[in-house]
Chain A
Amino acid sequence: MASCLETISVPHLPSLPVHVALYRDVQNAAFLKGQLLAGNSEFEYALIDASMLLSRAHATAAVFRAVNDYMHNRLKSRNVHSEIVFSFNSTNNIAESFRRFGIADSTKDLLVVKVSVSPEITHESVAAHLCATVQGTSVPFDDQTLAEVHDVNKIKRVYKLGALPSPPKATDLSNGTNDELRQRLENALLAAIALRGS
């Protein structure tokens, strides 16, 4: 199961590798959320409801924003992992960002992100811990998988992009027009993440 934990070296941030894993059919979301709320440091992850993720680029943008702010001592929330969840939001309301993007009791599809902010955090340590604690099916973290789990209308709503034409449900990713619409929506999300708090 842990074989799908991916370790990304985000361009421009080589000193802070980022570990990501995408799960489907998660059975113990309430437990994971509980650990987070209890402040259990073993469970210091960014736990994101994958239905809110348009694409890999969408998620990477939020991670980049949070890690860059972390590097420059500008965190608005408790740590870099909570900051990742916050970074998805287009407004400065931290509690709201967790309601919108964070794990909920009902979350079935989950993205887990962990940044190697200290040397003990390695691919192996994260893989082992996730393997032992997340009850779900590990799947590849790619656009195709995200397209199966995300809720485009909900994403558009929280980013206040209702006026944008929706790309039709991505059954056929090869269609040119759909591609263009999806790209436009994605670009609008990236811009919203970049400009938050300005």
Chain B
Amino acid sequence: MEDYKPPDLPSPFNNTTPPPTLLTQGAEAHLYKTTSLNPSNPAALKIRPSKPYRHPILDRRLTRQRILQEARCLAKLVREGVSVPALLALDWEGHGGEEGGWGGAWLMMEWIEGDVVRVVLEKWEAWMKNNQASLDESQIEREEAQVRGLLKKMGAAIGALHKAGVVHGDLTTSNLMLRPFAGADGAGAESVSTEGDVVLIDFGLASQSAQDEDRAVDLYVLERAIGSTHPRSEPLFDELLLGYRESYKGAPSALKRLEDVRMRGRKRSMLG
């Protein structure tokens, strides 16, 4: 099987020096690191390449619709002061690398420093596993308090998102980042630092909604994700819900709905 080659970058990024570096390739979008409009700042460049399997008219319609939906959500969240990457530039028409053909739409965002929460929790869980034997109760207590604090901040960040009338649509610990405070040296803490701001990223499936159901599904998806990828942190999920509950007026009713969503699960029995 031949190696995968990402499609050509849309113009003008086919002229960028140094060329943007590919970070991740999702089903829908490719994420690159490049420079922002200020050459001394990095930026994240999200490209939604054209999908040659679908009819060109449908392809343009979907690509345009989705990149705009994402951009509009980001713009709204920026205005509301929610911690998300700033929208720096956008092209929903899209241009191919060659002959000005249709190559896909793109969106340039502020670069967020730091690790995704998945990595932070994994580091912490690994550290705990390696050091458990040598820790006394108060140290364990302190470590767990630290992670509880992180989960609470995550809850507050999600609350701020929902308060602004946006639901994420794909909340996982890979879509929440921990941006260290400016000037913090990172090390110093005994295990893993959980200092910093929680920043929400990847709004590719986000939409504007203020319905309890959509909000509850956001939380439920994250709960499941934490349960499956961070077993040790799962018992601390209540802390996230606490942070959420305190973050805006509509939170208690969304949390009430979460109970229903949990009962129902995602599992449906279907007719054959």
Q: Bound pair: A and B?
A: yes
Q: With contacts A61-B88, A68-B91, A191-B79 known, what are 16 further pairs, Cβ within 8 A?
A: A11-B34, A12-B12, A12-B15, A13-B15, A56-B38, A61-B37, A64-B37, A64-B89, A74-B93, A163-B79, A187-B87, A188-B78, A190-B88, A191-B71, A195-B68, A198-B90
B12 → chain A closest CB, angstroms:
5
Instruction: Check B36 for interface membership: any CB of A closer than 8 A.
Output: yes
B78 touches A191 (CB 8 A): yes
A191 touches B37 (CB 8 A): no
Specify which of B39, B90, B92 lies most central, judged by the most chain A CB atoms within 10 Å of its CB.
B90
Instruction: Check A171 for interface membership: any CB of B closer than 8 A.
Output: no
Instruction: Check B46 for interface membership: any CB of A closer than 8 A.
Output: no
**Per-residue contact bits, chain A 54-71, to B (CB 8 Å; 1 contact, 0 not):** 001100110011001001
B13 contacts across to A, CB distance below 8 A: 12
* Number of residues from A at the complex interface, CB < 8 A: 29
Q: Which residue of A lies closest to B71 (CB)?
A: A195
Complex Cα gap A190–B107 (Å): 12
B88 → chain A closest CB, angstroms:
6
Given contacts A57-B37, A71-B12, contact A164 B79 (CB under 8 A): yes
Given contacts A71-B11, A195-B72, A195-B75, contact A11 B39 (CB under 8 A): yes
Instruction: Check A30 for interface membership: any CB of B closer than 8 A.
Output: no
B42 → chain A closest CB, angstroms:
11
Instruction: Check B95 for interface membership: any CB of A closer than 8 A.
Output: yes
B90 touches A11 (CB 8 A): no
Instruction: Check B210 for interface membership: any CB of A closer than 8 A.
Output: no
Interface of A (DSSP majority class):
helix
B37 touches A188 (CB 8 A): no
CB contacts under 8 Å to B, within A148-198, are 161, 163-164, 184, 187-188, 190-192, 194-195, 198
A53 → chain B closest CB, angstroms:
15
A191 touches B15 (CB 8 A): no
Which of B34, B71, B81, B93 interacts with A194 by CB under 8 Å? B71
A72 touches B89 (CB 8 A): no
B74 contacts across to A, CB distance below 8 A: 191
A72 touches B93 (CB 8 A): yes
Residues of A that sit less than 8 Å from B by CB: 9-15, 56-57, 60-61, 64-65, 68, 71-72, 74, 161, 163-164, 184, 187-188, 190-192, 194-195, 198
Instruction: Check B29 for interface membership: any CB of A closer than 8 A.
Output: no
CB contacts under 8 Å to A, within B57-92, are 68, 71-72, 74-75, 78-79, 81, 86-92
Which of A65, A71, A163 interacts with B89 by CB under 8 Å? A65
Complex Cα gap A68–B86 (Å): 19
A61 touches B79 (CB 8 A): no
Q: Which residue of A lies closest to B89 (CB)?
A: A194
* Number of residues from B at the complex interface, CB < 8 A: 31
Q: Which residue of B lies closest to A8 (CB)?
A: B39
Q: Which residue of B lies closest to A60 (CB)?
A: B37
A188 contacts across to B, CB distance below 8 A: 75, 78-79
Complex Cα gap A57–B15 (Å): 21
B79 contacts across to A, CB distance below 8 A: 161, 163-164, 184, 188, 191
Complex Cα gap A15–B15 (Å): 9
Instruction: Check B21 for interface membership: any CB of A closer than 8 A.
Output: no
B91 → chain A closest CB, angstroms:
7
B71 contacts across to A, CB distance below 8 A: 191, 194-195, 198
Instruction: Check B17 for interface membership: any CB of A closer than 8 A.
Output: yes
Instruction: Check B35 for interface membership: any CB of A closer than 8 A.
Output: yes
Instruction: Check B231 for interface membership: any CB of A closer than 8 A.
Output: no
A190 contacts across to B, CB distance below 8 A: 86-89
Complex Cα gap A24–B111 (Å): 34
Complex Cα gap A57–B38 (Å): 7
A-B residue pairs in contact (CB < 8 Å), sample of 7? A11-B38, A12-B34, A12-B37, A14-B17, A164-B79, A191-B79, A194-B88
Q: Which residue of B lies closest to A14 (CB)?
A: B15
Which of B81, B87, B95 interacts with A191 by CB under 8 Å? B87
A74 contacts across to B, CB distance below 8 A: 93
B90 touches A195 (CB 8 A): yes
Instruction: Check B100 for interface membership: any CB of A closer than 8 A.
Output: yes
